[in-house]
Amino acid sequence: MHGTAVLLLDVVVIALVFYGLALLTGLVHEVREAREALASLAVARERRRIARDVHDLLGHGLSAIALKGELAARDPDARRAAGHLADAARLARRALAVLRAIPGQAVTLTLDAELASVRNVLSSAGVAVRVQGKAGGFDPAMEDLFATVLREAAANVLRHGAAGCSCTIEVARGMLRVTNRATPASAAATDPTSTPASAPISAPATTPPASPGPAPVPEDVAAGPSEALGGNGIRNLRDRAALLGARVESGPTADGRGYTLTLHAQVSPVPTGG
């Protein structure tokens, strides 16, 4: 009787051991699958980050390079053309440095540098730029967000604006607003259905302007507003802003003659050592 009980106990113990081994094997497989899923998720997130950075950080630079090249090709003044080419080379070196830094997440922008760059590029495109206000004392992450929003707004002006339009950049603590507004002349130029009252409908004039001003914006850089202005760029900006508790708003102006991109953020003062 005692031997039978011992045998039954051994059987139960062996069964429990095999059951535990089976459970352990299942857990090992589940852990392995979870690791693979987490690795895949990390790769997907990194791909999205790189795609977002390439769009946000290189879009404006590539548009500006194309614009400067077109201006150099069309400008009859050799000295101005050389200046445009020098600007294009500088922008290309900057874009290359940004491209190299993207994989290491070391790309940081400053608002003052972006303001200077945006003013230069848009002015070269024949856009009247006005900057109102001045803000400083950001922490690096918030300043990078402000500069990125400004860069994307300038890229939109280049893509969808027209020579002769105006761009107003308002900067304040916790707010950045960029308004691209068409003047009556530029609005008529971009409206294929509009014809000046005094101009005949027949052949267009071929006489060049009396004084060489800024070269016209190339069609592939300053296309009409046929594309949706709330594309990947705006979505990327909203994602970036949400990470810092900020928000991005975009839409047409009240009179329908312009487009506004606004960043609202809670900016805390940067502590200073004392």
Please name each of the domains of the chain with its CATH number. 111-189+227-274 (3.30.565.10)
| Matching residue, tokens 């690791």 | 35
What is the pLDDT tens value at each position of the chain, 274 positions in all? 667 777 777 788 888 888 888 888 888 888 888 888 877 777 777 677 667 667 666 777 787 888 788 888 888 888 888 888 888 888 888 788 777 777 765 567 788 888 888 888 888 888 889 999 877 777 888 888 898 889 888 888 887 766 678 899 999 888 999 999 876 544 444 443 333 333 333 333 333 334 344 444 433 333 333 334 445 778 888 888 898 899 999 888 888 888 899 999 887 655 555 4
Q: What's the per-residue H, E or C state across the chain?
A: CHHHHHHHHHHHHHHHHHHHHHHHHHHHHHHHHHHHHHHHHHHHHHHHHHHHHHHHHHHHHHHHHHHHHHHHHHCCCHHHHHHHHHHHHHHHHHHHHHHHHHHHCCCCCCHHHHHHHHHHHHHHCCCEEEEECCCCCCCHHHHHHHHHHHHHHHHHHHHHCCCCCEEEEEEECCEEEEEEECCHHHHHHHCCCCCCCCCCCCCCCCCCCCCCCCCCCCCCCCCCCCCCCCCHHHHHHHHHHHHCCCEEEEEECCCCCEEEEEEECCCCCCCCCC
Give pLDDT, residue 161: 65
Q: What is the pTM of this model?
A: 0.58
